[in-house]
Amino acid sequence: AQSVTQPDIHITVSEGASLELRCNYSYGATPYLFWYVQSPGQGLQLLLKYFSGDTLVQGIKGFEAEFKRSQSSFNLRKPSVHWSDAAEYFCAVGTSGTYKYIFGTGTRLKVLA
C-alpha cells in the first residue's frame, strides 16, 4: 500500500542551528513530492515540490529538499533555523494515475531562542 512516513513527531532545535526533517515514502510509481508547512491555526503553505529533473530542489524561506530514489526519501533541510520556522511540516506524495496526495503524519518543529 502507498504510504508516507515522517519518523519524527517532534523536533526541537536552537535558533541558528541546522535542520533536517525526514520523509520516506512507499510508492510503486514515480512519485511527485511536496513539503507543506502549517503554522498554528493556519492552512497548508507549499514550501517546495519535486516532479522531475534536478533532485535537489529549492523552496521558499530558505528551505531545500533532496529526492533520493534509492532511499525512497525526500528530506527537508534548512542551514539556519529562525524562530518563525516553528510550525508543523508535512511531507506529501502524489503520483500519476491518481488525483490524491497522501500526507505524512507531520513533524512539529519547536525553535529555542
Task: Using CB under 8 A, list all residues that contact another protein.
Answer: 32, 34, 36, 42-46, 49, 51, 90, 92, 94, 96, 98-106
Nearer to another protein, 31 or 81 (CB): 31
- Find the shortest distance in angstroms from Cβ 44 to another protein: 4
In 3D, which of 61, 60, 2, 73 has the Cα closest to residue 33? Answer: 73
CA distance 22 to 75: 5
* Minimum distance of another protein from residue 86's CB (angstroms): 18
- Nearest approach in angstroms of CB 63 to another protein is 15
Task: Give whichever of 34 and 63 is closer to another protein, judged by the CB atom.
Answer: 34
